[in-house]
Chain A
Amino acid sequence: MIELRNISKAFAEKQVLKDVSATFEQGKVNLIIGQSGSGKTVLLKSIVGLHDIDNGDIVYDNRIFSEMNFKAKKNIRKEIGMLFQGGALFDSVTIEENVMFPLDLFTNMQFDEKIERVNFCLNRVNLENVNKLFPSELSGGMQKRAAIARAIALNPKYLFCDEPNSGLDPKTAIVIDDLIKEITQEYNITTIINTHDMNSVIRIGDKIVFIFQGVKSWEGDRKEIFNTNNQELNNFVFANEFIKKMKP
């Protein structure tokens, strides 16, 4: 479980996050939604420690991450897997080496064991015969799946995904969503996804946190989201013509 307690973050004069509190539960797919520029990427990057927060606490299973020193944070980071918007695969090495990278750095596994783990992770994300290919030789969806394989290589307790469906066609986006959902339930991990894709909200959102102009404006689940009186959230959710027709 990950808890956010009154998080604030500003860049120079610009206040990006204001007093955000939320709880993200284990074994569930937690979504942070909001318009572009609402502060959700800053929030996600603050949770994983890529940005230092100005106020508040980030708590990973009763461990206060924001108060830890570099070494303690490093140990938590070994429990984190992250899928970036563009995949962020290392483009100078093959897919096999990408997935093997965390194993190389943080385990004492023998080469054969590492290969076995890499193949397991790649099979888990339904990627076959790509071990020796470079990231640039894969499609966008395959790159995302390879990035998920890398993220789960060390059996993480926490999985973070920043806009996992950006740049993907709707069918591939569903494949990625389902994969993340399956992995979350299978390994009982705490998954937090940043998205503004309503298909993902409807399909996999166990818990949803809506961020509006840096403030947590609403939280609930995918059933409640269509019956809320929150005007900003309604404007966001029903901006899509198709979803507008579903409005109760």
Chain B
Amino acid sequence: MNFFSHMGRYSCLLKKVFSKPEKFSIYYRRTIKEIDNLGINSIGIVAIISLFMGAVITIQTAYNTENPFLPDYLIGLTARDTLLLEFSSTIVCLILAGKVGSNIASEIGTMRVTEQIDALEVMGVNSASFLILPKVIGFVFIIPFLVVISMFIGIVGGMLAGSISNTISVHDYVYGIQYAFMPFYVIYALIKSLFFAFIITTVSSYSGYFVSGGALEVGKASTRAVVNSSVLILLFDLLLTQFLLG
């Protein structure tokens, strides 16, 4: 299949996904479950990565700005802006494309090859909407919280690394993260994350939903979901940055 066939099929799938749900109470329950499954279960990995990345960014910035003419608080400022502008939205979403994307593609792909999706269709259920919509809504809802958590833990990680390694005092670091703070950076990161969450869930669902064959194809669909989501995240990162900051 060529690019345009995939785009056409992806659009048709989205039309099915966003059609009227059969029963709102069931969709609501499934959405809450997906928030837990895709979002809450990702807090751990987001926290660990953010803590270490915040620490590394701080130490690297300190190393690169060892200059008597540059004030120490610039380290905090740089760490803050790096985390807010790029790391906590784009990099965290790239990592989540791996975790959440492969999870979604393999779950839906397995349901396809074991005829569970056929069983839904035979019952008269819109399987695309039933399976995918709660994932999209759930993940788009939870992603801003994950991004904010990442920002906070990343900044704390930078502060801990700076003080433990004696590269910057806590006072200077705190002054740096407050200096010339632009609240729009947070909004910019949150807007990007919403787009990325949509990309991760829909592209991964698309990969899984159209699997045919067996376990091998489910594995391939899972890999394809991660690769395609990651490439699209990077592309949309560029477009959104140009649109929002350019």
Write the residues of chain A forming the contact surface with B, with a CB cutoff of 8 angstroms. 45, 48-50, 73-75, 77-78, 80, 82, 84-86, 88-92, 101-102, 104-106, 160
Contact = CB atoms under 8 A, between A and B. Distances in A.
A88 B26 contact: no
Contacts of A73: 124
B23 A104 contact: yes
A91 B114 CA distance: 10
Interface string B115-132: 110110111110000000
Interface in B18-34: 22-23, 26
25 contacts: A48-B122, A49-B121, A50-B122, A77-B121, A77-B122, A77-B124, A78-B123, A80-B123, A84-B115, A84-B119, A88-B114, A88-B119, A89-B116, A90-B111, A90-B116, A90-B119, A91-B114, A101-B123, A102-B123, A104-B23, A105-B22, A105-B123, A105-B125, A106-B123, A160-B122
Nearest to B23: A105
B50 to A, nearest CB: 30
B26 A104 contact: yes
Nearest to B111: A90
B24 to A, nearest CB: 12
B212 to A, nearest CB: 11
B26 A82 contact: no
A32 to B, nearest CB: 16
Contacts of B111: 90
Contacts of B122: 48-50, 77, 80, 82, 160
B37 to A, nearest CB: 10
B179 to A, nearest CB: 49
Interface in B62-108: 107
Which bucket holds chain B's interface residue count?
A: 10 to 19
B57 to A, nearest CB: 39
Contacts of A50: 118, 121-122
A140 to B, nearest CB: 13
Contacts, number: 51
Nearest to A74: B124
The 3 nearest A-B residue pairs measured at CB? A77-B124, A88-B119, A88-B115
A106 B124 contact: yes
B116 A78 contact: no
A104 B27 CA distance: 11
B206 to A, nearest CB: 20
A78 B118 contact: no
Given A74-B124, A77-B124, A106-B124, A82 B22 contact: no
Contacts of B23: 104-105
A86 B26 contact: no
A88 B124 contact: no
Contacts of B115: 84-86, 88
Contacts of A101: 123
Nearest to A85: B115
Contacts of A92: 107
B200 to A, nearest CB: 20
A100 B123 CA distance: 13
A16 to B, nearest CB: 15
A73 B118 CA distance: 15
A85 B116 CA distance: 11
Contacts of A89: 116
A31 to B, nearest CB: 19
Which among B23, B111, B124 has the greatest number of chain A C-beta atoms within 10 A?
A: B124
A48 B116 CA distance: 15
A75 B122 CA distance: 11
Nearest to B25: A104
Contacts of B116: 88-91
Nearest to A45: B118
